[in-house]
Amino acid sequence: MVEVFKTNVEQPLHATFIVRMLRDHFPNARINFDLSDCDKVLRLEGENLAIGKVVHLVNEQGFLCSVLE
């Protein structure tokens, strides 16, 4: 399963922090950002990904995050 999210993360340092934090919650997922994309895409690939939890965790860090459709 692949889930793609639109974010407002712009700094590589922030992206690295979020990826590390999400790996704590989804240790078997492949997680990465595409900060060059206009939607600052966050992509997670793995099993049993909880979309609401991803959005909540990123929002808790002060960033916008929504499912990219």
Whole-number Å distance between alpha carbons of 1 and 60: 24
CATH of residue 59's domain is 3.30.70.100
pLDDT, residue 14, reads 98
Contact (CB, 8 A) for 54 and 22: yes
Share of the chain residues as helix, strand and coil, in percent rounded to the nearest 5? 35, 30, 40
Confidence grade of residue 69 (pLDDT, cut at 50, 70, 90): confident
* pTM of the complete model: 0.95
Give the domain range for residue 9. 2-67
Whole-number Å distance between alpha carbons of 55 and 53: 5
In this predicted model, what pLDDT tens digit does every residue of 24-64 receive, in sequence order?
A: 999 999 999 999 999 999 999 999 899 999 999 999 999 99
How many domains is the chain built from? 1
